[in-house]
Amino acid sequence: MAEPLLAAFGVTKSFGPVEVLHGVDFTVQRGEVHALVGENGAGKSTLMKILSGFHQPTSGAVRVDGRPMSFSGIGTAEAAGVVLIHQEFNLAEHLTVEENIFLGRELRRGPFLNKRAMRERSLAVLAELECPVDPRARVRDLAVSERQMVEIAKAMSREVRVLIMDEPTAVLTGTESAVLFGLIRRLRDQGVGIVYTSHKLDEVRAITDRVTVLRDGHHIATRPTAELTEDGIAQLMVGRAISDLFPAKTPPAPDAPVVLEALGIDVPGWVRGAGFDLRRGEILGFAGLIGAGRTELAEGLLGLRRRTAGTLSRNGEPLRVRRLEDAVAAGIAYLTEDRKGKGLLLAKGLQPNLTLLALDRYGRVFVDERREAAALERAVTEFDIRVRTLDVPVGSLSGGNQQKLLLAKTMQVDPEILIVDEPTRGIDIGTKQQIYRFLHEFARRGGSVILISSEMPEIIGLSHRVVVMRSGVVTGILEGDEVEEGEIVRYATGLKGRTVDGLKGFTSKGDAHDAVGHA
Amino acid sequence: MTPSVMPEAARKPSSGFDLKLYGPFLALAALIVLGTIVNPVFLSPGNIGNVLTRTAFIGIIAVGATFVITAGGIDLSVGSLAAFASGVMIVVMNALVGSMGAGLPVILVGVLVALGLGLAAGLVNGLLVTKGRMEAFIVTLGTMGIFRSLVTYIADGGTLSLNSEIRTIYRPVYYGGVFGISYPILAFAVVALIGALIMYRTRFGRYCAAIGSSEDVARYSAINVDRVKLLAFVLQGICVAIAVVIYVPRLGSASATTGLLWELEAIAAVIIGGTMLKGGYGRIWGTVVGAVMLTLIDNILNLTGAISVYLNGTIQGVIIIVAVLLQRGTAARR
């Protein structure tokens, strides 16, 4: 085999006394897409950071073109042509797209910035990505998926020989992902080596040439992708057969009462006249494209966003929700999709995070820290949160453990209605299964769940009924046999269901998004 | 959720020395050792009492500032507010002597006026920051100028002096004490104790840190962010008022230069104490130590004579920078 572009031999990494990678080998050939998969906490991120020069391995070697990589600083790996695209964006929010693309290596003419050249190069690379973003737009005004594209454009605009992508499609729509895959294939044909991580195994199957599986910091297998099925990859990741990802549905009783009803909800710029009802023991799915207004509807209901019209009733009684506190008092809890930005205090420990939502239940005047500690012990067991010690900052936990902690935090208020928004975003299949079981159990015991998700299998596998939204409007509520992928997509894309023509002149970020998704 | 695998490792607190937590106390100890070496008088009860009494104003204000800063805000108006409240308090007491006679009731009214002003100023700052959706820095930069100019206007550019009879009655509040401990020290201790209880043991303290860490997370945790921030500014205003109540009997006057730069000294005390300027992490006892250290430096320089007292500011500046550098170091290792 030819000399690999990038190779790691017996790489070990320890943080303090804890070894998180145990002698891992990994190579990327010229013109190869190499998938790196594993559960959260398997060591993927650490390995990627070592490959891209951010972390120095404790032992073992990394070679670029057969030469040892120097770890003298962040820039050195990039100078060798190894570029990492972070899952958490590394963009300066207040700068424009083009300023971000050239940040740190601005083109100059003499002592001055060559703005025209940078604009042209930015336009060219954005066009190649089929990304209709204005290079002069400020990054803070962009949607999450557009930011991801800018991050990719930034990597593309330099001489890249190895591109390392950390879950690039987690926030992209189907169409955007397809554009990205086209680009990945073109780069591969040009001889670029690509390291690709994703929890979406269908993507891994579709676009990668080889798969390396990590589990608990160990190298488990490296095989040609063609030899593996999705199920086979999942089994290697988890180390056991994945049986029944979704528990068998338990429909709510035929006479189950309506616990929450929403009518004519308007959230300016996002949602128009949305309504639905939720019954006891029911899991109500909310499907739609990114930007369809599902999150905004939920946040409007909960007092987290301004709502201009609409009524709510809880168990048949009118319910006024002006702030999130009112919703919590009415037994409604919300799990945000943005666990790092809105869900958890990353610099704080597990205990203050767990009890933050329900702190008034831990003592009248003074907070009873002993009861908090006891609650944390219980939550760690009940939600299977895996941590080395309980006093680490939450930011150091893996995504799956953070998500389980966030769920535990949400459950601290003993809700009867649970609104979960993308509850399994960016987490591994084992943790997903645990969360599915939890939601199923919660509903079976008489709770009600609103499940907002962009993952179709999740919506179909868990929901008793599905509300489909498009451009801020509820286009249909599906039940029984209608709950299947084709039908949901038809409603979500406007082929079927309530028309959204009534929204003329109703321009919103949601519409803009949609347009991107369909371009 | 049924655990598929039990958490493996033992859950014990990680050991290791937390510089951020103990750094200020070590620095204070070092200063005390240095002071003792320089001049044995340093450790005499008289000198220590003197240092602590003079620390009380800044210390009490800094305890309030700890809450504002922990919640991600800043209050630049405290020094001007102290001057303004002192001025108004003196004017009101002087005016009442005629009708009420010089006595305790007049002083009580004066104290109530100061507390009322502190509370009102805190409300104004807090409401502008929360309801006005403005940066705390800008709001308090504005009110700082307003309060400073108001006291100058009331004093007509000169000095407001307290009626001498009232002054005689009021004087012991600064110069007196019980069991050899002066009232300012007692007030400082009580304010610090209450501050520590609020910061470490109540929901409010926890919420301040949460808001300073991430306002979004706080909002999504059903915390009334505006109310908590408003309360932090009100607390700061009341702390300033308490400082004023023990400051006025010291000199019995107020002028345009009263409380000048106190806001920066208070912020310096908070930062030296290990509270993070960007919010999210507050240390009341650290603040107390920070305030004491600032006065100690001055005191030690006075006692040595080896280094000019005029270099006091240089040494304070160096200590602030070193304190923050040390915080950076520990933060980076996390």
Contact between chains at B217 and A345 (C-beta distance less than 8 A)? yes
Q: Which residues does chain A have within 8 Å of residue B209's beta carbon, measured at their own beta carbons?
A: 348, 352
Of B4, B14, B280, the CB nearest to A389: B14
Q: Which of A357, A384, A421 to mutate to test the interface with B (most CBs of B within 10 A)?
A: A384
Higher pLDDT, A487 or B211: B211
A348 touches chain B (CB under 8 A): yes
User: Could you say which residues from 415 to 474 on chain A have a Cβ atom under 8 Å away from some Cβ of chain B?
Assistant: 430, 434-435, 437-438, 441
Domain membership flag for residue B4:
no
And the tokens for B313?
């500011």
* Cα–Cα distance list, A252 to A255, A388, A435, A445, B221 (Å): 8, 40, 19, 10, 30
Q: Which residues does chain B have within 8 Å of residue A357's beta carbon, measured at their own beta carbons?
A: 221-222
Indicate which CATH number applies to the domain containing B110: 1.10.3470
Domain membership flag for residue B267:
yes
Provide the CB-side half-sphere exposure for A434 (13 A, CA): 22
Higher pLDDT, A94 or A506: A94
How many residues are given for chain B?
A: 334
3-state secondary structure of A296: helix
Q: Which of B14, B201, B207, B221 to mutate to test the interface with A (most CBs of A within 10 A)?
A: B221
And the tokens for A101?
């693309």
Report which residue type is found at A381.
T
Q: Give the pLDDT band (50/70/90) at residue A519.
A: very low
Q: Beta-carbon neighbour count of residue A480 at 10 Å?
A: 9
* Whether residue A296 has pLDDT greater than 80: yes
- For chain B, give the longest Cα–Cα distance: 81
For residue A235, the model assigns a pLDDT of 82
A360 touches chain B (CB under 8 A): yes
Cα distance between residue B201 and residue B209, in whole Å: 12
Q: How far is B160 from chain A (nearest CA, A)?
A: 42
Q: How far is A505 from chain B (nearest CA, A)?
A: 30
* Parts of chain B with a pLDDT under 50: 1-16, 331-334
Of A342, A344, A382, the CB nearest to B1: A382
* Whether residue A507 has pLDDT greater than 50: no
A243 touches chain B (CB under 8 A): no
Q: How far is B190 from chain A (nearest CA, A)?
A: 18
**Element spanning A194, H or E:** strand A193-197
When divided into structural domains, chain B yields a total of 1
Residue of chain A minimizing CA distance to B212: A345
Residue of chain B minimizing CA distance to A394: B334
**Element spanning A159, H or E:** none
Chain-wide mean pLDDT for chain A?
85
A454 phi/psi in degrees, rounded to 5:
-100, 0
Q: How far is B205 from chain A (nearest CA, A)?
A: 10
Taken in order of first residue, the domains within chain A and their CATH numbers are: 6-238 (3.40.50.300), 258-331+416-518 (3.40.50.300), 348-414 (no CATH)
For residue A73, the model assigns a pLDDT of 63
Per-residue exposure over A425-444, b if at least 16 CB sit within 10 Å of its own CB, e if not: bbbbbbbbbbbbbbbbebbe
Domain residues for the domain of B54 are: 45-293
Q: How far is A204 from chain B (nearest CA, A)?
A: 26
Q: How far is A343 from chain B (nearest CA, A)?
A: 5
Residue of chain B minimizing CA distance to A383: B1
And the tokens for B280?
């999210």
Of B9, B210, B222, the CB nearest to A345: B210
Question: Could you report the per-residue pLDDT of A176-199, keeping only the tens digit for each?
Answer: 788 888 888 988 988 899 999 887
Residues of B with CB under 8 A from a CB of A: 1-5, 7-9, 11-14, 197, 201-203, 206-207, 209-210, 213-214, 216-224, 280-281, 334
Q: Which residues does chain A have within 8 Å of residue B1's beta carbon, measured at their own beta carbons?
A: 382-384, 404, 434-435, 437-438, 441
Contact between chains at B13 and A391 (C-beta distance less than 8 A)? yes
Domain membership flag for residue B331:
no
Per-residue exposure over B185-198, b if at least 16 CB sit within 10 Å of its own CB, e if not: bebbeebbeebbeb
Q: Nearest to residue B185, comparing CAs of B51, B330, B329, B89? A: B51
For residue A502, the model assigns a pLDDT of 44
Q: Which residues does chain B have within 8 Å of residue A366's beta carbon, measured at their own beta carbons?
A: 197, 201-202
Q: Are B266 and B18 in contact (CB under 8 A)?
A: no
Contact between chains at B220 and A304 (C-beta distance less than 8 A)? yes
* Structure ipTM over 0.95, yes or no: no
Q: Which residues does chain A have within 8 Å of residue B212's beta carbon, measured at their own beta carbons?
A: none
Residue of chain B minimizing CA distance to A368: B201
Residue of chain B minimizing CA distance to A358: B221
Q: Which residues does chain B have within 8 Å of residue A215's beta carbon, measured at their own beta carbons?
A: none
Contact between chains at A348 and B213 (C-beta distance less than 8 A)? yes
Interface A-B: count of C-beta contacts within 8 A: 105
Domain membership flag for residue B180:
yes
Question: Could you report the per-residue pLDDT of A201-224, keeping only the tens digit for each?
Answer: 888 898 999 999 998 888 999 999
Contact between chains at B3 and A384 (C-beta distance less than 8 A)? yes
Domain membership flag for residue B25:
no
User: Could you say which residues from 101 to 130 on chain A have a Cβ atom under 8 Å away from some Cβ of chain B?
Assistant: none
Q: Which residues does chain B have within 8 Å of residue A328's beta carbon, measured at their own beta carbons?
A: 222
Q: Which residues does chain B have within 8 Å of residue A435's beta carbon, measured at their own beta carbons?
A: 1
For residue A242, the model assigns a pLDDT of 60
Question: Could you report the per-residue pLDDT of A52-103, keeping only the tens digit for each?
Answer: 888 888 888 888 888 887 766 666 777 788 888 877 677 888 889 988 888 8
Cα distance between residue A263 and residue A474, in whole Å: 11
Mean pLDDT of A333-342: 92
Q: Which of A242, A299, A357, A359 to mutate to test the interface with B (most CBs of B within 10 A)?
A: A359
> Following DSSP, what letter does each residue of A142-156 receive, concatenated?
S-HHHHHHHHHHHHH
Q: Beta-carbon neighbour count of residue B157 at 10 Å?
A: 9
Q: Let me know if A293 is exposed, middle or buried by CB neighbors in 10 A (0-12, 13-18, 19+).
A: buried
For residue A240, the model assigns a pLDDT of 67
Q: Which of A440-449, A455-464, A507-516, B193-202 has the lowest mean pLDDT?
A: A507-516
For residue A518, the model assigns a pLDDT of 34
Q: Which residues does chain A have within 8 Å of residue B20's beta carbon, measured at their own beta carbons?
A: none
Percentage above 90 pLDDT, chain A = 39
Of B1, B5, B221, the CB nearest to A357: B221
Residue of chain B minimizing CA distance to A376: B11
Contact between chains at A359 and B14 (C-beta distance less than 8 A)? no
3-state secondary structure of A422: coil
Question: Could you report the per-residue pLDDT of A136-182, keeping only the tens digit for each?
Answer: 888 888 877 788 888 888 888 877 889 998 888 877 777 778 888 88
CA B193 to chain centre: 13
A304 touches chain B (CB under 8 A): yes
And the tokens for A179?
């554009």
Cα distance between residue A276 and residue B305, in whole Å: 80
Q: Are A388 and B9 in contact (CB under 8 A)?
A: yes
Contact between chains at A386 and B7 (C-beta distance less than 8 A)? yes
